[in-house]
Structure 1
Amino acid sequence: GSIHDAIEGADVFIGLSMAGVLGREDVARMAKDSVVIAMANPVPEIMPDEAAAGGAAVIGTGRSDFPNQVNNVLAFPGVFRGALDARATRVTGAMRLAAATALAGMVPSPTAERILPSPLDRSVAPTVGKAVAAAWTG
């Protein structure tokens, strides 16, 4: 089947592919209050206004000019800092989960327009780093 077949009834779409592969009619066929994270750059798999028109409740992209920028800049500096501080020999699943949990915890009252902290927030890397270092068990 195609992406258009696979998306029917889905709760979440996470796109890491190319521009324009998803349309508002695809989002309309997803589950009610779906989540669409379209990270292709510079043009996402679906533009946020189209995803919203299709019924998505939460929308994120890899772009800084839309709400909910989902970008590796949020995780990588802190993950590396934490791994270095812990003298880790590898990055484990527990460390990755700690990074994600730390990021989520930085938004105490998430809304559809704000599920992640800003990449410009200078406290992101230290917060993630401390969590990652604490998760190292090697």
Structure 2
Amino acid sequence: MGTAGVQPRDTRAEPDGDTDVAALFRLTEARLPALIPPGHAGETAILFEAARSALLGRGKRARPILSMLACAHVGGRAQDALDYGCAVEIVHAASLVLDDLPCMDDATLRRGATALHLAHGEDAAVLVSIALLNQA
């Protein structure tokens, strides 16, 4: 039995809720704040707020979106990869905090806002980066 005349099945994802980039962006934007909740009190409150600002500043969210698109492309549900993609985004945010330090790029701005080490100090920036990595 030959395969002449048999067309390969198109397995590319069709635009729908699982592959609509704008919808995946909104899903990511809704999930990230829950991973570092506000409302901490005491001496660590400033670190949590700095971590939230490092993570929740404007960004393209390419890592979570690509993770979800890849999951959908291989037959899974995009949402099943949301937390994985958010973890990768958290690691990326931590790397940006470290990259902005004076011993690296000495950046003054990140995502349109004052770099974290300038807003909160270098010591806080290092602690925030470590906290983000632990959260991921």
TM-score range, shorter chain: 0.3 to 0.5
| Greater strand fraction, Structure 1 or Structure 2 | 1
The answer to which structure, 1 or 2, has the higher relative contact order (CA under 8 A, 6+ apart) is 2
| Larger Rg belongs to | 2
TM-score normalised per structure 2 = 0.34
TM (norm. structure 1) is 0.33
